[in-house]
Amino acid sequence: MAIETRNKINTAFSMASMSDLVFLLLIFFMLTSTLVAPNAIKLLLPSSHSKTMAKQSLTVYIDKSGNFYVGEDKTSADVLENAIAAKIQNNVTATIVVRADKTVPVQDVVNVLDALNQINEKNNTKHKVILATKPQ
């Protein structure tokens, strides 16, 4: 006489808990990636009371060693004009934000201004420059 058990063990694997885990991990990484600081170059910005905000098209960084970064690309002062022009070539009224360390000589900031003025004269454009500061 064959006796069968009523409760058989199901050997199939349920993927429902695995997909829940994947979605939780996805949400976790999406939230933590927004908390990452957008500035990869560490700068001590000068302080100011003014609060000028504008839509920025490009950011030029000058670190305390005197290195220039157009966006995230390192460049030298000699080719600064070409690097900026390549990034904003399709924009007639771009706003360039200069983020210079407070120990940087004024001449380095003036080099960025001169490069942008040369671009404006050559291409008959109206690009603007904003000097980034931290609140006082």
CATH (domain of 72): 3.30.420
Q: Residue 17 domain-assigned?
A: no
pLDDT over 90, % of the chain: 7
Q: Is 28 helix (H, G, I), strand (E, B) or coil?
A: helix
- Dihedral sign, CA of 22, 28, 30, 33? negative
Q: Residue 40 domain-assigned?
A: no
Q: Residue 8 domain-assigned?
A: no
Alpha carbon of 2 to those of 5, 6, 68: distances in Å? 10, 13, 84
pLDDT in tens, 48-89: 666 666 677 888 999 888 899 998 889 988 888 888 888 888
Domain containing residue 124: 47-135
